[in-house]
Amino acid sequence: MLYHLFEYLDELRRAGGLDIPGVRLLHFISFRAGFAMILSLIITTLIGKQIIQRLQLKQVGEIVRDLGLEGQIQKKGTPTMGGLIILSAILIPTLLFANLTNIYVQLIIVATVWLGVIGFLDDYIKVFKKNKAGLAGKFKVVGQIGIGLVVGCTLYFHEDVKVREFAMPANNNNQQTAQLFTQSIIGNTGNNDPKSITYRDKKSMMTTLPFIKTHEFNYESVLKVFGMTPRNAAKWAWLIFIPAVIFIITAVSNGANMTDGLDGLATGTSAIIGVVLAIFAYVSGNAIFADYLNIMYIPDIGELVIFGAAFVGACIGFLWYNAFPAQVFMGDTGSLSLGGIIAVMAIMVRKELLLPILCGVFVIENLSVVMQVGYFKYTKKRFGEGRRIFKMAPLHHHYQKSNMHEAKIVARFWIVGIMLAVLTIITLKLR
């Protein structure tokens, strides 16, 4: 909203009206992202305290099952639904500082609210209806499929979702090419100049493929394998793309939900991932950086940096109360939303195939549960007695059972998350 107000004031200035100092500052993504992060930190640390007190008055406490874990019983009664703090700290700065006419901003806001509502219903049923199971799993999945359809259809069919292709001059040296490329970005080359760089925006199902020299994967190529012509493959590529979007959103949101088992674990891990996605949004939305890194330039995607900054600020600020020993838990209101936001942002910046690396902590946590359950069922059927791979799943509970302190487990998972984040970034040139 402030962005649009300052845009209006700048138009008045250009028209010879009021000359208000600083109205152009909000043109800069870095400036708006910085203020979005600061505001999100203020919201979580100051307003968060008020929300926690209200949750305590309403007796919105965590229901804890005794699993024999150290310090677990002490968590009983700790306020939950703290995801409301995170969502507020994300949405308010985004609404104030982002360009609300941008399709990517609109879509990420819808996804945040949608998944937040699903998580809130789950927490509400657990706390107020005293039903430990919460929202039935089938309804969660239906909700996740629903937002997957919305995101997939919007990204596939909306006319503003495009990538830009540049045609470089063939006869220029590197210095001339760089100069012309920069001029083409800022609009200083003429259309009649035969050496000027031309570009076109087009609909494309391309995404980044890690560790491969060509560096790109087209969802249309899956249909070409089955003998479709390029024209038909382009027409029907949504049959591959939209189910892939649904799967990614469902998997990552559930992965974050599974990771939310120790104080600060899911929050800190999500903050690390959010930093990387904000960087990707920035370089993908900046033609010069995109050219240098040889990645796709996505017009208007840079506005996601403001959302990403608010996301990171909200997660870091929430740690003020969520770090060990936690004064509040995010609940499914927060965890489902965080995972879904990460998935949707990755799909938008066309880096979803990097998620197994970037979200490696989520993947490991999910795999530990799948392996535990699968092995238990297999051994029970074959030997008549169920056996386990881990002392308890998800994996962080295995380390708790091994008498490792909760704070140390969280810190070590964060370190792993940072290493995976750095590896994800260098994959842009590691191919």
What does 211-260 look like in DSSP terms, one character per residue?
Answer: T-SS-EEETHHHHHHTT--HHHHHHHTHHHHHHHHHHHHHHHHHHHHHHT
pLDDT band at 416 (very low <50, low <70, confident <90, very high): very high
Instruction: Please determine, for residue 278, whether its predicted confidence score (pLDDT) is greater than 90.
Output: yes
Closest CA to 117 of 345, 362, 334: 334
Residue 375 three-state SS: helix
Give 211-265 pLDDT, tens digit per residue: 887 778 889 888 888 788 888 888 888 999 999 999 999 999 999 999 998 999 9
- Residues 261, 262, 264, 266: is their CA dihedral positive or negative? negative
Q: What is the DSSP string of 90-104?
A: HHHHHHHHS-TT-HH
The percent of residues above 90 in pLDDT, for the chain, comes to 57
| pLDDT confidence tier of residue 79, bands split at 50, 70 and 90 | confident
pLDDT score at 428: 83
The vertex-416 CA angle with 415 and 417, nearest 5°, equals 90
Q: Model confidence at 62, in pLDDT bands (50, 70, 90)?
A: low
Compute the average pLDDT of residues 128-135: 82
Q: Which residues lie below 8 Å from residue 180, measured CB to CB, with a gap of 6+?
A: 169, 172, 189, 195, 196, 197
| Between residues 135 and 190, the one the model is more confident about | 135
- pLDDT, one tens digit per residue, over 81-98 is 899 999 999 999 999 999
Give the burial string for 40-76 (b: 16+ CB within 10 Å, else e): bbbbbbeebeebbeebeeeebbbeeeeeebeeeeebe
Beta carbons within 10 angstroms of residue 271's beta carbon: 22
- Average model confidence (pLDDT) for the chain? 86
Q: Region 287-311: what's the mean pLDDT?
A: 91
For the residues 275-287, what does the mean pLDDT come to? Answer: 94
Q: What is the pLDDT of residue 189?
A: 40
Whether pLDDT at 77 is above 50: yes
Res 131: pLDDT? 81
Q: What is the pLDDT of residue 225?
A: 81
Asked whether residue 321 carries a pLDDT value surpassing 70, the answer given is yes
Percent of the chain past pLDDT 70, that is, above it, reads 85
Residue 276: pLDDT over 70 = yes
> Which of the pair, 132 or 392, is modelled with greater confidence?
392
CA distance 4 to 367: 45
pLDDT of residue 332: 92
Q: pLDDT: is 67 or 112 the higher one?
A: 112
pLDDT band at 112 (very low <50, low <70, confident <90, very high): very high
Q: Which residue has the higher pLDDT, 130 or 380?
A: 380
Could you tell me the residue ranges of all domains in the chain?
A: 2-161+235-426
Nearest to 353 by CA among 212, 162, 148: 212
Average pLDDT over residues 103-125: 95
Per-residue pLDDT, averaged over 37-54, amounts to 91
Averaged pLDDT for residues 180-206: 58
Task: Determine the pLDDT at residue 64.
Answer: 60
Q: Which pLDDT band holds residue 192 (cuts at 50, 70, 90)?
A: very low
Whether the pLDDT of residue 358 is over 90: the answer is: yes
Residue 157 has pLDDT above 60, yes or no: yes
Residue 63 clears pLDDT 70, i.e. is over it = no
pLDDT interval class at 291 (50, 70, 90): confident
